[in-house]
Chains A and B, each alone.
Chain A
């Protein structure tokens, strides 16, 4: 029986690809300048010329959402990839070597889970950040720090279960080094679980960016970000809900799509052994 990914999966993938392309090519796409204010259009609802309407000072919400995607996507992708490499490595080492290495790594990682994310973030912004330009790096840095522990735990659990299999023992019996056992025998089996998990982490980071922006700590204006747009639209919720709603919907759909793709991939990659 072949497993199928289904129509909705491809729909979600296409959505994500289109969003990513739009963000990358935002400069050259025929969309409005996100900084330009259109006179007399303040708080105007969606129309043909301004698809998502205009915000409090008359800027085009649609183009700001596209530009906002740049920040969201860069932060979530880079953050996840880095966290995946570091966390994945730590998790595999911890699960494979066991005993003392495992105890220390697990203790450290668990300890890092105790730090409240928001406090850590505030501290880093306050102490490291003097210049707005660097804010995006601090965001990525914090997100990496925050995602390492959860990823490492998932990978460690998967590694533990695979490392106990006879084929790992067989590889060692053949004289394989630890590195080879880790990367050739264990990684291919563990990878599906953390690749699909990473998409869920990615979705999480987009949401975190939103909440951080709500505190005014994300990438500072004039660069548009989704969280910042939702935050700014808050004051006009009663008269022009679309200012907050549009970026919120896009964020919602993006997060949903990422989660969905992650879930589906996880199911898809499940070892076929279960079929036997």
Chain B
């Protein structure tokens, strides 16, 4: 009965999984045989129902098709492309074509994010994955864009601060290089100009320096260029050759600066007291820039962390000054801090909003597809929706990336009956509209019957029967299918209770029965069932079954195959 074999597979399938095996290590060196040699295929536009008891490996099969986790063995082909052999990067590019809808709509949506971000996420991810591939070019574009953005948004005050900061920066560089500071661990008077202009403006400058670093300019060059650029509102494009040279020079210069400060000061504490502090700030500034270039990756929390780290460093910095100057520095810093933070956050928001704006038309379109009013939904969070609505959101997210195949993992099991019908109709409509191919995993046979073109029955990691739903429901071929059908509750209080339900528990997948896996609970089990594993074979047109003694058609021809026997018995 529940057995292997590929007799039911067709040659021209869109998605084809062969001999999928998924095993998990369990405690005590044992192995859970979750899926043991399942073969499925789907033609374009078809819906395959996958049914079975809880724990029979339906969901695991669905996930193995997505390569999450990758199956232990077996092959999965999508449009002729073999997925199991692809590396992680390549599989990421394929995944948008294979989407999934989950059983629990609430837990499949991140409670901390808004609908507009959740639905747009596939677009952001695609953008990120593409931009990684063409990293250099895209990065330059985006940084250039950001820089323009920053300059456009810099107010008059900011520009004056930037100018002063660059002067302070030059002074600071001079004091660093000219003065022998080993004898004096805390900050000396030459540092005061930089300090009075304010540590944050130093950070601002280093922030700009970090942009230059990414663009391929050196810090020193920047200290000269920045004021001009701020004044003229133009920051020229830099070619990649200059960029590369700049990166080399900058790296060398930073290494030299690091080495110089390190060697001239006794230890890391003193090093921190002087140039090291600024270098740390530079690192933070680079981080900040990165987070602004890729706002959807760093998030507001990332920016906030960086800013707070800067403030902590500032405490160290200010603590090193004389009492008299301290007040001036503190006041100046407080003012500049505020300016800087506001500006950084505004740039961050502007960038994030730009991304959102770019994604919004698509998000709206998809939300309308699934019957959710975008105007109400966009700024709400998932837990503000009912289960049915949340499932619609989940479907919308799966649709954004224009998938070919959607694996629905019990999409209606946790919804109430009236909503179930709505979701099923929605899936049906979308399927026709977008030419989707569906794998519909469920344990509710009535649901599966209505949506499927073909139904596969699973038991303990193996397939029992693959048939057209109408024929299967009218006359089940496999004893397990028959029992499943008998277990459908009848909405008639007078109806006899099916006493002949499946007895006993599902055997442990760690130690599956020999031969046919269903034999321990099968009313028709014979000796042969324990010794020999049944093969999938066609017993009637379009009806495939893996059973030695099916309920319709001929019993399986006797087969004397010692190898199979030995395998089955082990």
Count of A residues near B, CB < 8 Å?
39
Would you call A57 an interface residue if the criterion is a C-beta within 8 Å of the partner chain's C-beta atoms? no
Choose from A70, A85, A174 the contact partner of B121 (Cβ within 8 Å).
A174
Would you call B56 an interface residue if the criterion is a C-beta within 8 Å of the partner chain's C-beta atoms? no
Query: Contact at B111–A166, with CB atoms within 8 Å?
Result: no
Encode contact with A along B99-114: 1 for CB under 8 Å, 0 otherwise. Answer: 1101110111111110
Q: Which B residue's beta carbon lies closest to that of A172?
A: B68
Would you call B129 an interface residue if the criterion is a C-beta within 8 Å of the partner chain's C-beta atoms? yes
Known contacts A74-B315, A183-B302; A167/B323 CB under 8 A: no
Query: Contact at B93–A169, with CB atoms within 8 Å?
Result: no
Known contacts A81-B312, A177-B128; A170/B95 CB under 8 A: no
Least Cβ distance of A79 to chain B in Å? 10
Measured in the bound complex, the distance between the Cα atoms of B333 and A200 in whole Å is 29
Query: Contact at A27–B326, with CB atoms within 8 Å?
Result: yes
Note all chain A residues with C-beta closer than 8 A to B312. Answer: 77-78, 81
Query: Contact at B102–A169, with CB atoms within 8 Å?
Result: yes
Note all chain B residues with C-beta closer than 8 A to A111. Answer: none
Measured in the bound complex, the distance between the Cα atoms of B117 and A188 in whole Å is 13
Query: Contact at B113–A188, with CB atoms within 8 Å?
Result: yes
Query: Contact at B96–A175, with CB atoms within 8 Å?
Result: yes
Note all chain B residues with C-beta closer than 8 A to A265. Answer: none
Note all chain B residues with C-beta closer than 8 A to A175. Answer: 92-93, 95-96, 122, 125-126, 129
Query: Contact at B397–A170, with CB atoms within 8 Å?
Result: yes
Note all chain A residues with C-beta closer than 8 A to B96. Answer: 174-175
A205-213, A233-241, A249-257, A268-276: which one contacts chain B?
A: A268-276
Query: Contact at B108–A167, with CB atoms within 8 Å?
Result: yes
Query: Contact at B268–A137, with CB atoms within 8 Å?
Result: yes
Would you call A176 an interface residue if the criterion is a C-beta within 8 Å of the partner chain's C-beta atoms? yes
Measured in the bound complex, the distance between the Cα atoms of B296 and A183 in whole Å is 10
Choose from B98, B269, B327 the contact partner of A27 (Cβ within 8 Å).
B327
Note all chain A residues with C-beta closer than 8 A to B11. Answer: none
Known contacts A27-B323, A166-B108; A137/B301 CB under 8 A: no
Note all chain B residues with C-beta closer than 8 A to A133. Answer: 185, 269
Query: Contact at B68–A180, with CB atoms within 8 Å?
Result: no
Encode contact with A along B379-391: 1 for CB under 8 Å, 0 otherwise. Answer: 0010100000000
Query: Contact at A24–B92, with CB atoms within 8 Å?
Result: no
Measured in the bound complex, the distance between the Cα atoms of B112 and A157 in whole Å is 18
Q: Which A residue's beta carbon lies closest to that of B123?
A: A174
Q: Is the interface of B mostly helix, strand, loop or mixed?
A: helix
Encode contact with A along B284-309: 1 for CB under 8 Å, 0 otherwise. Answer: 00000000000011110110010011
Measured in the bound complex, the distance between the Cα atoms of B109 and A171 in whole Å is 10
Would you call B401 an interface residue if the criterion is a C-beta within 8 Å of the partner chain's C-beta atoms? yes
Query: Contact at A170–B100, with CB atoms within 8 Å?
Result: yes
Docked complex: A104-160 residues within 8 A CB-CB of B: 133-134, 137
Measured in the bound complex, the distance between the Cα atoms of B323 and A75 in whole Å is 21
Note all chain A residues with C-beta closer than 8 A to B109. Answer: 167, 170
Note all chain A residues with C-beta closer than 8 A to B66. Answer: 173
Note all chain B residues with C-beta closer than 8 A to A102. Answer: none
Least Cβ distance of A142 to chain B in Å? 14
Would you call B242 an interface residue if the criterion is a C-beta within 8 Å of the partner chain's C-beta atoms? no
Query: Contact at B326–A188, with CB atoms within 8 Å?
Result: no
Choose from B110, B268, B327 the contact partner of A167 (Cβ within 8 Å).
B110
Least Cβ distance of A261 to chain B in Å? 16
Would you call B267 an interface residue if the criterion is a C-beta within 8 Å of the partner chain's C-beta atoms? yes
Choose from B93, B299, B318 the contact partner of A184 (Cβ within 8 Å).
B299
Docked complex: A171-193 residues within 8 A CB-CB of B: 171-177, 179-180, 183-185, 187-189, 191
Q: Which B residue's beta carbon lies closest to that of A137?
A: B269
Query: Contact at B93–A271, with CB atoms within 8 Å?
Result: no
Note all chain A residues with C-beta closer than 8 A to B107. Answer: 165-167
Query: Contact at A273–B299, with CB atoms within 8 Å?
Result: no
Choose from B99, B112, B383 the contact partner of A189 (Cβ within 8 Å).
B112
Known contacts A28-B323, A177-B92; A169/B68 CB under 8 A: yes
Least Cβ distance of B355 to chain A in Å? 13
Would you call A10 an interface residue if the criterion is a C-beta within 8 Å of the partner chain's C-beta atoms? no
Measured in the bound complex, the distance between the Cα atoms of B330 and A208 in whole Å is 29
Would you call B138 an interface residue if the criterion is a C-beta within 8 Å of the partner chain's C-beta atoms? no
Query: Contact at B268–A173, with CB atoms within 8 Å?
Result: no
Query: Contact at B305–A85, with CB atoms within 8 Å?
Result: yes
Encode contact with A along B34-67: 1 for CB under 8 Å, 0 otherwise. Answer: 0000000000000000000000000000010010
Measured in the bound complex, the distance between the Cα atoms of B186 and A134 in whole Å is 12
Least Cβ distance of A130 to chain B in Å? 9
Query: Contact at A188–B112, with CB atoms within 8 Å?
Result: yes
Note all chain A residues with C-beta closer than 8 A to B106. Answer: 273, 276
Would you call B319 an interface residue if the criterion is a C-beta within 8 Å of the partner chain's C-beta atoms? yes
Least Cβ distance of B254 to chain A in Å? 22
Note all chain A residues with C-beta closer than 8 A to B394. Answer: 170
Encode contact with A along B304-335: 1 for CB under 8 Å, 0 otherwise. Answer: 01001100100110110001001100100000
Q: List chain B positions with a Cβ less than 8 A from chain A.
A: 63, 66, 68, 92-93, 95-96, 98-100, 102-104, 106-113, 121-122, 125-126, 128-129, 185, 267-269, 272, 296-299, 301-302, 305, 308-309, 312, 315-316, 318-319, 323, 326-327, 330, 381, 383, 394, 397, 401
**11 CB-based A-B contacts, threshold 8 Å:** A74-B315, A74-B316, A78-B312, A133-B269, A137-B268, A137-B269, A166-B104, A170-B397, A174-B125, A175-B122, A188-B299
Q: List chain A positions with a Cβ less than 8 A from chain B.
A: 24-25, 27-28, 70, 74, 77-78, 81, 85, 133-134, 137, 165-167, 169-177, 179-180, 183-185, 187-189, 191, 271-273, 275-276
